[in-house]
Amino acid sequence: MINPPIWIEMRVKDMELIMKRFDKNKLQSMEYLGYDMEKAKAEHFKRITYQQASYDPLENDPYVYCIVEIGEGDNKRYLVNNIRGYLPTTIISFLMNLHPEARPIYFSRHGQSLYNLEDRIGGDPCLTEYGLQYAQKLGQRVSELHELPPDRLVVWTSCLKRTQQTAQFIHCKHRVRWQALNEIGGGMCEDITYKEMEERYPELSELRRRDKLYFRYPQYL
C-alpha cells in the first residue's frame, strides 16, 4: 500500500520572529542585494499580503497534513489530520521537535559521585559533597547566561541519580529524563572497582585499556 503525500505547512504569527528571519536571510540574498532596507521590507510584506489573498487553508480539504502554528514566545500549536503508519508518524514526531530559531546546547558531566571517589564501575550512586558543590556552581553559572532564560530552558538528564542531582539547582521550564542517556552498563563488572576488575578479569581489563571507546562489558564470560 502506497502512503498518500503528506502536506506540511508552517504558519508563523510572531511578527518579531518574521522580522528576525527576514533580516537574517532575505536581506543577505541576491534578491535584495543593494536594496534600501526599508524598501526591501515593504516589498517583502507586500508580497506576503498578496499571497494571503489567494491562500486556501489545508483544513478545507481531507488531505493528510501537519500544520505547525508558531505564535508569540515560541508557543506552538500542531494540527494533524489522517496521519497513519510508521513513517508518517515518525515524520510528524520530527517536525514537532524542530525549532524556528537556532538555540545553544550546553553539555555538562555529572558532579563527583561516590563511585567516582571509590573508583567503582557503573552503579547508581549519589553525589559526594564535592559533587553537590559542583551542582550548585553549575546552577549559578547557568543562571548567569542571558541566552538561557528559565522560561525557555529545557534540561535533559539520564535516569541515574547522579545526573539528576547535578541538574537540581538549574532553574528551567521543564526537565526530561532519557534512559538512552544512561551510562553503558557494567555487566559482570558492575559495582566492583577497576583494581578488582584487573585482578579478577585481567583479559577484560586489557581489552578496555586498549580501546575504551568501543569496549563493552560482557554480562558473563
Question: pLDDT by residue (tens digit) across 140-166?
Answer: 999 998 777 888 899 999 999 999 999
Distances (CA, A) of 155 to 59, 81, 101, 151, 167: 35, 31, 18, 12, 8
- Would you list the DSSP string of the chain? -PPPPEEEEEEE--HHHHHHHHHHTGGGSGGGTT--HHHHHHHHHHHHHHHHHT---GGGTT-EEEEEEE-GGG-EEEEEES--SHHHHHHHHHHHT--SS-------PPPPBHHHHHTB-S--PPB-HHHHHHHHHHHHHHHT-TTS-TTT-EEEE-SSHHHHHHTTT---SEEEE-GGGSPPP-GGGTTSBHHHHHHH-HHHHHHHHH-TTT----S--
Q: Which three cell numbers stand for residue 39?
A: 524598501
Q: Is 166 exposed, middle or buried (0-12, 13-18, 19+ CB in 10 A)?
A: buried
What is the pLDDT confidence band of residue 168, given thresholds at 50, 70 and 90?
very high
The answer to whether 66 and 8 are in contact (CB under 8 A) is yes
Average pLDDT, the chain: 87
What is the pLDDT confidence band of residue 187, given thresholds at 50, 70 and 90?
very high
**Phi and psi dihedrals of 60, rounded to 5?**
-75, -10
The arithmetic mean of pLDDT across residues 184-212, rounded, is 95
pLDDT at position 90, please? 85
Distances (CA, A) of 78 to 96, 107, 162, 217: 8, 29, 35, 43
pLDDT at position 39, please? 83
- Alpha-carbon distance of 133 to 135, in angstroms, equals 5
What is the pLDDT confidence band of residue 1, given thresholds at 50, 70 and 90?
low
Q: 103 pLDDT exceeds 80?
A: no
Amino acid letter for position 168:
Q
Domains in the chain and their CATH numbers?
6-96 (3.40.50.300), 114-210 (3.40.50.1240)
pLDDT at position 172, please? 92
- Alpha-carbon distance of 159 to 124, in angstroms, equals 9
pLDDT at position 116, please? 97
What is the pLDDT confidence band of residue 73, given thresholds at 50, 70 and 90?
low
φ/ψ region of 122 (left if φ > 0, alpha if ψ in -120 to 50, else beta) reads left
Q: 125 pLDDT exceeds 70?
A: yes
